[in-house]
Amino acid sequence: MQEVVLKTPYITLGQLLKIVDVVSSGGEAKWYLSEHEIYVNDELDNRRGRKLYPDDKVKLPNGKTYVMRSSEN
């Protein structure tokens, strides 16, 4: 499980995909989410605008899991 440190109160699922180098643009994120199963906190979610807050967990189809952490911790 890898940690992603949030410098803002939240990021979107599309932003996370760009941060971890799964996609390179928002349009690519939209396509990726329509073609792959992404789980946010163990629930299937395909909204690139989904807000991710500290302690949210995102599981990608490549087997990697990311957990959001606040930069204040």
| Domain harbouring 8, CATH code | 3.10.290.10
Number of domains forming the structure of the chain: 1
In tens, the pLDDT along 2-39 reads 999 999 999 999 999 999 999 998 889 999 999 999 99
* Residue 28: domain span: 2-70
The tokens describing 72, both together, are 């204040």
In tens, the pLDDT along 34-71 reads 999 999 999 999 999 999 999 999 999 989 999 999 98
Burial 24-52 (b: 16+ CB within 10 A, else e): eeeeebbebbeeeebebeeeeeeebebeb
What pLDDT was estimated at residue 51? 96
pTM of the model: 0.88
